[in-house]
Amino acid sequence: MAETVLSMARSMLGGAISKAASAAAAEISLLMGVRKDIWFIKDELATMQAFLVAAEAMKEKDMLLKVWAEQVRDLSYNIEDCLGEFMVHVASQSLSRKLIKLKDRHRIAIQIRDLKSRVEEVSNRNTRYNLIETNQFTRDTDERDSCMEDIRNQSANNINEAELVGFSKPKQELINLIDVHATNSPAQVVCVIGMGGLGKTTLTRKVYESIKSFSCCAWITVSQSFVRTEFLKVMIKELFGSEALKKQLEENVGSEVNLANCLREKLLEKRYFVVLDDLWNIDDWSWMKSVVFPSINNKGSRIVVTTRDLGLAENCTLGSSRPLIYRHEPLETNDAINLLLRKSRKSEEEMKKDWNMRKIVTKIVKKSGQLPLAILTIGGMLATRVVDEWVSIYDQLPSELERNRSLEAMRRMVILSYNHLPSHLKSCFLYLSLFPEDFEIKRRRLVERWIAEGFIIARHGVSVEDVGNSYFNDLINRSLIQPSRVNMEGIVKSCRVHDIVRDVMISICRDENFAWSTSDNVTHIVGDNFHHIALQGSWCPNEGLDWNHVRSLTVFGKKPMKPAPSLC
């Protein structure tokens, strides 16, 4: 979880820095004698943000660094709370004329100076303990890639079991889209998109292994860490063999430019089939397109890209041709049930005879969102338990996601997408955890709430509503939320959050003190200092929560007759 803590701390700093800049610019900050303190806070936070960017790139994120990032995050929350109150007073004309009531003015000034001292101490702590050293700023790609490759291999190996359950039809559809028999056409990009755990890699691998009509083929795993020279070497080796790469290196022409020129020249007259698995950044594609793939190739060559991001896929152009998009969908319900039964070593006949088994299997399939990876990992747990224990396992799935190693790949799939989000989308994404399971979330309502919470960063010449809608569409395109209702113009009007994604999201929110929600069967709150609270059902917390830090309260279902005593 260290990566998530660092990522969230950096995200929170952005809001605090923005609020500090606004507060320092207010004329009343000069009259109160705190302008210099606020500017100091802003500058120190900006420096911390830069350190956190470097920390996210480090190969090892130890406990001390995680603790420091948590302190930065909590400090950012407190600064936003204090300066938010300050700006409320500034916005009130009647109060600003009186230079704020003397009592409030004195209290806020003391809080700002206390925050300045805390900022200094947190900043000094980084230096004192050498948390981030200069020589650690360089990204250690080998270790990170190795870790991610293990997770991807584990996922792919699991999903390989699904070959005969629900993959035959998508495989044929993808082959038809690729049009492998078109031999006199320009090179074409085909993108396979979908959320993590759908089996995009497995599906594409099945197609790749069945292709026979191309003169050279290569399978390249791109991932988030991308080293250009290594990419070129692997591609030469895959396409033309180890001897071709060895010869190129022996001739002392192993630079990036020479390797790229070699590849482009060799591919110019070849009918090639290249898979770029797990592409995350459009900049990586732009580089590949410009230096690797020939601009002219009328041999019917094909480049298949797998990605979670629809926006990225739509921009994977080659020459004048637009990419073809294949949307990989979850399994059909019957296929999902059959896959779960197979993995849990049960038969369809057994399920038909056992009404309780039928009921819990249906609930598990729904919980999994019919994702092959989720079904297979949960099915593996069920295989070692009797059917009477399956209900208990289902009820414990949210907590099992955090501690059960067999579910690690599924959790990491969500964490990876979350960590890859730009800072301005992280809070917007986590905010969705407040809504109940399987709740249809209206786009307009959600965007308005993001604006009210201050999550939307305004852009010059663009309304804040349009910026919010672009955030919403970005989360849709990144396959983190699912379209629920789409109008005639193709505009997504509402969305839902996948149950597994929501469970991981709730875990992150709890660790980051960001948001907390309850349901009727919860009797108390564990921890405090949450900033966004959602009450589901008729229950209302009466102890254990510090309401001083709460910024929003949302109630779903039957409203409490009266507020909690601690809120009064």
Of the candidate ranges 71-75, 318-322, 368-372, the one whose mean pLDDT is the lowest: 71-75
Over range 404-431, report the average pLDDT. Answer: 81
Q: What's the one-letter identity of residue 546?
A: D
Over range 388-415, report the average pLDDT. Answer: 78
Q: 374-395, pLDDT tens digit by residue?
A: 888 888 888 888 888 899 888 8
Q: Which of 467, 452, 444, 441 is nearest to 532 (CA)?
A: 452
Does residue 543 fall inside a structural domain? yes
Q: How confident is the model at residue 276 (pLDDT cuts 50, 70, 90)?
A: very high
- Cα dist. 96→19, 25, 112, 467 in Å? 18, 14, 18, 31
Q: Specify whether 114 is located in the same domain as 177.
A: no
Q: Specify whether 34 is located in the same domain as 129.
A: yes
Q: Average per-residue pLDDT in the chain?
A: 77
Residue 158 or residue 117, greater confidence: 117
Q: Specify whether 480 is located in the same domain as 523.
A: yes
Q: 347-368, pLDDT tens digit by residue?
A: 889 998 889 999 999 999 988 8
Residues in Cβ contact with 272 at an 8 Å cutoff, skipping those fewer than 6 apart: 214, 215, 216, 217, 218, 239, 297, 299, 301, 302
Does residue 405 fall inside a structural domain? no
Residues in Cβ contact with 10 at an 8 Å cutoff, skipping those fewer than 6 apart: 49, 52, 53, 56, 423
Q: What's residue 562's pLDDT? A: 53
What is the residue range of 66's domain? Answer: 2-136
Q: What's residue 380's pLDDT? A: 82
Q: Which of 500, 497, 455, 493 is nearest to 480 (CA)?
A: 497
Do residues 325 and 314 make contact, with C-beta atoms less than 8 angstroms apart?
yes
Number of structural domains in the chain? 3
Does residue 161 fall inside a structural domain? no
Residue 304 token pair: 């298949």
Does residue 511 fall inside a structural domain? yes
Residue 235 token pair: 């591609």
Does residue 150 fall inside a structural domain? no
User: Percent of the chain scored above 70 by pLDDT?
Assistant: 67
Of the candidate ranges 13-17, 107-111, 273-277, 410-414, the one whose mean pLDDT is the lowest: 13-17
User: Percent of the chain scored above 90 by pLDDT?
Assistant: 23
Over 70: is that where the pLDDT of 224 sits?
no
Q: What's residue 229's pLDDT? A: 87
Alpha-carbon torsion (39, 45, 49, 51), positive or negative = positive
Do residues 368 and 336 make contact, with C-beta atoms less than 8 angstroms apart?
yes
> What is the value of pTM for the model shown?
0.72
Q: Which residue has the tokens 């003015």?
A: 105
Alpha-carbon torsion (445, 448, 452, 457), positive or negative = positive
Q: What's the one-letter identity of residue 154?
A: Q
Residue 90 token pair: 């500034």
Element housing 231 (H / E): helix 228-240
Of the candidate ranges 39-48, 116-125, 185-194, 337-346, the one whose mean pLDDT is the lowest: 39-48
Do residues 16 and 76 make contact, with C-beta atoms less than 8 angstroms apart?
yes
Q: Specify whether 552 is located in the same domain as 446.
A: yes
Q: What's residue 6's pLDDT? A: 53
Q: What's residue 138's pLDDT? A: 41
Q: What's residue 140's pLDDT? A: 42
Q: How far apart are alpha carbons 249 and 264 in whole angstroms?
A: 16
Using the 3D structure, point to which of 289, 305, 327 is the last residue of a domain.
327
Residue 111 or residue 146, greater confidence: 111
Using the 3D structure, point to which of 304, 327, 350 is the last residue of a domain.
327
Over 80: is that where the pLDDT of 19 sits?
no
Q: What's residue 142's pLDDT? A: 43
Over range 487-493, report the average pLDDT. Answer: 90
Q: Specify whether 128 is located in the same domain as 223.
A: no
Torsion of CA 124, 125, 127, 133, to 10 degrees: -140
Helices (H), 292-347: 310-314, 333-343
Neighbours of 547 (CB within 10 A): 15
Q: 45-95, pLDDT tens digit by residue?
A: 666 666 666 665 554 456 667 677 777 777 776 776 766 666 666 555 554
